[in-house]
């Protein structure tokens, strides 16, 4: 895929672990995922409301969820999780494409939405990506999903393509 990227890299991104108090007063910890995180992620996605699915993910049902998590946690990818105690409540992932760029997606469970977790989780995942030397990140979002697009733009993503159902947005983390 040929996408354009902004010229200037983002700066001032946090790196995990990050602890903060969300908009509803809960203490949330954001950490990089380890192999032991698969089960809490399966739990999180089993609780996921189908109205918040995006372009077919997360899939529904335990087996499809496990298969999908296998894909997004392969060696070259980067996964960051937001925790409320021992419950995974948010998950951001950066998955390598064939092009040396990374595709980003993020999900926050319904009970913890609209509390600032998504923004913090995204910034932290991008910060970790930056410190691991990832330069280019892209995502696709349904073009009617205005709240998500607003969050991505606030963080620094730019719209690069509106020719299809999905809007492509890109951000630069490092110069090349």
Partner 1 sequence: MQLIVGVDGSDYGLRALGESIERAQQLGGDVTVALYSDGQTALDEIESLVSEELSAYDIDVDVIWLEEEPGSQLIELAEREGYDQIVLPGGQRSPLGKINLSNTIEFVLLNAQTTVTLVR
State yes or no: residue 25 binds partner 1 (CB under 8 A): no
CB 111 within 8 A of CB 139: no
Q: Give yes or no for residue 56 binding partner 1 (CB under 8 A).
A: yes
55 binds partner 1 (CB under 8 A): yes
Q: State the DSSP H helix or E strand holding residue 142, giving kind and residue range, or none if neither.
A: strand 136-142
162 binds partner 1 (CB under 8 A): no
Gap between the Cα atoms of 176 and 116, Å rounded: 32
Query: Each residue of 51-80: b (16+ CB within 10 Å) or e?
Result: eeebeebbbeeeeebeeebeebbeeeebbb
Which residue, 100, 97, 170, is CA-closest to 138? 170
Total binding residues toward partner 1, as defined by CB under 8 A: 21
Please say which residue, 115 or 170, places its beta carbon nearer to partner 1: 170
Piece in contact with partner 1 (CB under 8 A), picked from 22-30, 89-97, 126-134, 147-155 = 89-97
Q: What is the DSSP letter of 136?
A: E
- Which C-beta is closer to partner 1: that of 57 or that of 155? 57
Whose Cβ is closer to partner 1: residue 115's or residue 169's?
A: 169
Applying CB under 8 A, the residues found at the interface with partner 1 are 54-57, 59, 68, 71-72, 77, 93, 95-98, 103, 105, 140, 163-166
């Amino acid at each position: 895929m040929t996408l354009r990227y902004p010229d200037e890299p983002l700066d001032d991104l946090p790196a995990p672990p990050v602890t903060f108090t969300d908009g509803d007063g809960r203490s949330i910890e954001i950490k990089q995922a380890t192999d032991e995180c698969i089960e809490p992620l399966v739990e999180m996605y089993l609780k996921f409301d189908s109205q918040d699915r995006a372009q077919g993910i997360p899939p529904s049902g335990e087996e499809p969820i496990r298969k999908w998590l296998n894909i997004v946690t392969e060696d070259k990818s980067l996964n960051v999780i937001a925790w409320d105690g021992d419950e995974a409540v948010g998950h951001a992932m950066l998955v390598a494409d064939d092009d040396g760029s990374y595709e980003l997606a993020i999900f926050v469970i319904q009970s913890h939405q609209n509390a600032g977790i998504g923004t913090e989780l995204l910034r932290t995942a991008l910060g970790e990506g930056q410190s691991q030397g990832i330069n280019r990140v892209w995502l696709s979002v349904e073009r009617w999903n205005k709240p998500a697009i607003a969050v991505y733009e606030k963080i620094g993503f730019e719209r690069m393509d509106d020719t299809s159902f999905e809007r492509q947005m890109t951000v630069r983390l490092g110069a090349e």
